[in-house]
Amino acid sequence: MTTPGAKAMTGVAAAAVAVGVAQLVGAAFGPQADVRTAVGSAVIELTPGAVKEWAIDTFGTADKLALTVMVLAVIAVIAAVAGILESRRRPIGSTAIVAAGGVGCAAVLSRAGATLVDIVPTLVGTACGVAVLRLLVSGRFTDEGEEASTDQGRRLSLVTLGLLGAGVASGALGVVITRLASSVSGDREAFALPKVNKAAAPIPDGVQPKGVALPSFVTSNSDFYRIDTALSVPQLSRQDWRLRIHGMVDREVTYRYEDLSRFEVVEKVVTLTCVSNPVGGELISNAVWTGYRVGDLLAEAGVQPDADMVLSMSVDGWSAGTPVEALTDGDALLAIGMNGEPLPMEHGYPARLVVPGLYGYVSATKWVTDLELTRFDRAEAYWTRLGWSARGPIKTESRIDVPRSGQDVPVGPVTFGGVAWAQDRGIRAVEVQIDDGDWRQATLGDAYSGDTWRLWSFPWDARETGFHTITVRATDNDGYTQTPDRADPVPDGATGWHSITFAVR
């Protein structure tokens, strides 16, 4: 008899072929037929909000990789069970593969713009997976019911591993072909940002405290945090991009990319923050954005007085609900550039929203294609449907970057530091407490604007060896000092003082 382990491997090999063939065939149909992305996106959509928050808190910007690994692990477990249950007379495992294929088809059809043609690759992959499983249990390599010889067992193992490898290779090739065929990187590389009509104020050298290794005041594009629900980065060219403005407006307007040229190009330095950022977290970054005032675009449509929310939507169906006044006050941008370059694709190319003072879940729509003027009592956005607050003003918070938790600090003079933020109010003061001592004023880097974070430093004479604790709190320009009360990010952002322990050696 074939061992349970060998039978489990036959199921895994069949599943690998099913997924791999579906991925490879899907490359000829376009990204909308990508069953791997469709299933992953469906999992994201169906996952409860609390679980999503746990994933972001646990894995941070690696949440999508973690999801992919988890989905593949679940598929492998189900496939192994299917292989164990499969026999020549009882095709239970084959039935499980067919059922999984049905789930994949449903996931593909649930995507925006999908048609019945897009499930063809999944159907082909499912058929191949069933064929492989039936082949491996057919008795061609071992005689079920009799003691398999060493040669027969080796032969079955080699065939199984070969099919497993072929499935993985075909899937990887399909992913590469799909990405190359749909990529708009060439479109982005050919795009030169238009001349800025209203440049941002110069950034003084004094924004960066001296003598301490803090994050750069302007975050590089490669280091800028990324949190979104897009398992595969949407690929949208400038030629295909449209921005529809409709709903509670005097007239519906649809902009093409070339239509934007009649608006003033402005530049702003704005710090963005994710609502999932825990106390002391790193889901915050600052950049120089180039784009067009959203208020100018909305003015052509004519916003009706009763509208109090703009429901923005990305090309992949994600949505955010933003107060109308936040988009019409002249500060919000339809951004097309980031730090002097066209938007990186993972940060929203060819266009996204940048709204100072609001957490990203209610404002920072990437790959934006639709703005609907509506009301908070009539519509809900993606995260508000999952339990987050409808409005998300950024809270006053601060963070310690130097020293890191558990770091050793040498005896003698040292300089600590970090960042503080309160968009769109700005930071007035930062205070530091060592152990249970008095609160002392930190030295602030120059203030740039209320829409950006502020860096701080704190000199300290490390005299007493042993473990110590450093705590920080900030006060904004409205006079509010951040609360020590700890609150989780759900439903409208974390609160509490950041505190870490370090050792003087």
Q: Pick from 333, 361, 386: which residue ends a domain?
A: 386
β-pairing, 253-256 vs 265-273, is unpaired
Domain co-membership, 153 together with 11: yes
Residue with tokens 């604790």: 469
- CA separation for the pair 56, 61 (Å, rounded): 7
238's tokens: 């400038």
User: What is the mean predicted confidence (pLDDT) over 394-418?
Assistant: 96
Q: Which of 12-16, 58-62, 492-496 has the lowest mean pLDDT?
A: 58-62
User: Are 61 and 107 in the same domain?
Assistant: yes
391 three-class SS? coil
- Specify if 344 maps to a domain: yes
Q: Looking at 363, 386, 409, which one is the last position of a domain? A: 386
Q: Which of 386, 410, 432 is the last residue of a domain?
A: 386
Q: Is residue 391 part of a domain?
A: no
pTM of the model: 0.84
Same domain, 272 and 374: yes
Asked if residue 231 and residue 380 are part of one domain, the reply reads yes
Label residue 155 by pLDDT band (50, 70, 90). Answer: low
Looking at the structure, tell me whether residues 378 and 464 fall in a common domain. Answer: no
Instruction: Say whether pLDDT at 113 is over 80.
Output: no
Q: What is the pLDDT of residue 232?
A: 86
Residues 298 and 437 in one domain: no
For residue 21, tell me if it sits in a domain. Answer: yes
Taking residues 36-56, report their average pLDDT.
Answer: 79
pLDDT (0 to 100) of residue 57: 74
CA distances, 292 to each of 118, 298, 350 (Å): 36, 11, 13
Do the domain assignments include residue 288? Answer: yes
3-state helix, strand, coil in the chain (%, to 5): 35, 25, 40
Q: Give the integer Cα–Cα distance in Å for 460 and 59.
A: 33
> Quick check: helix, strand or coil at residue 17?
helix
* DSSP string computed for 68-109: HHHHHHHHHHHHHHHHHHB-SS-BHHHHHHHHHHHHHHHHHH
Residue 214 contacts residue 455 (beta carbons within 8 Å)? yes
Contacts of 232 (CB under 8 A, 6+ apart): 31, 34, 37
Average pLDDT for 260-281: 97
pLDDT band at 145, cuts 50/70/90? very low
Residue whose C-alpha is closest to residue 420's, from 389, 442, 440, 439: 442
pLDDT at 148 over 50: no
The H or E element that residue 12 is part of is: helix 4-26
Is 195 inside any structural domain? no
The predicted pLDDT at position 162 comes to 86
- Answer whether residue 159 shows pLDDT above 50: yes
Percent of the chain having pLDDT more than 90?
Answer: 70
Q: What is the pLDDT of residue 212?
A: 96
Phi, psi of 475 (to 5 degrees): -125, 130
Rounded-to-integer distance, Cα 314 and Cα 366, Å: 6
Q: Containing H/E element for 49?
A: helix 49-59
Average pLDDT, the chain: 91
In this structure, the answer to whether residues 375 and 433 fall within a common structural domain is: no
Task: Report residue 87 CA to chain centroid gap.
Answer: 43
Residue 254: pLDDT band (50, 70, 90) is very high
Same domain assignment for residues 340 and 468: no
**Same domain, yes or no: 158 and 221:** no
Number of structural domains the chain divides into: 3
DSSP notation for 272-289: EE-TTPPTT---EEEEEE
The number of C-alpha atoms within 13 Å of 92 and in the hemisphere containing its C-beta is: 11
Q: Which residue has the higher pLDDT, 159 or 97?
A: 97
The residue behind tokens 């894995």 is 59
Angstrom CA distances, 15 to 171, 252, 309, stand at 11, 48, 46
pLDDT for the residue numbered 146: 45
Write out the residue range of the structural domain in which residue 262 sits.
Answer: 205-386
* Amino acid 147: pLDDT: 46
* Residues 6 or more apart whose Cβ sits within 8 Å of residue 417: 209, 212, 214, 400, 401, 402, 442, 455, 456, 457, 458
Judgement on whether residues 261 and 366 belong to the same structural domain of the protein: yes
Based on the fold, state whether residues 259 and 360 are members of the same structural domain.
Answer: yes
Residue 10: its H or E element: helix 4-26
- pLDDT category at 82 given cuts 50, 70, 90 is confident
How does residue 260 score in pLDDT terms, banded at 50, 70 and 90? very high
In a domain, 271, yes or no: yes
Nearest-5° angle of CA 473, CA 478, CA 482?
25
Distance CA 115, CA 113 (A): 7
Q: In whole angstroms, how far apart are CA 26 and each of 34, 97, 177?
A: 6, 18, 9
Tell whether 403 is covered by a domain: yes
Indicate the residue type of 38.
A
φ, ψ at 242 (rounded to 5°): -140, 145
The CATH number given to whatever domain includes residue 255 is: 3.90.420.10
pLDDT confidence of residue 229: 86
Q: How far apart are CA 494 and CA 57, in angstroms?
A: 11
Closest CA to 456 of 415, 502, 405, 422: 415
* Phi and psi torsions of 284, nearest 5°: -150, 140
- Cis before 491 (ω within 30): yes
Structure tokens at 407: 């770091």
Q: Cα angle at 204 between 200 and 208, to 5 degrees?
A: 120
Q: Is 444's pLDDT higher than 50?
A: yes
Over residues 344-391, the pLDDT tens digits come to: 999 999 999 999 999 999 999 999 999 999 999 999 999 999 889 999
* Domain of residue 473, CATH code: 2.60.40.650
Radius of gyration of the chain (CA): 27
* Strand partners of residue 416: 458
Query: Mean pLDDT across the stretch 131-160?
Result: 66
Q: Do 279 and 330 belong together in one domain? A: yes
- Domain assignment of residue 197, yes or no: no
Lowest-confidence pick of 85-89, 216-220, 249-253, 379-383: 85-89
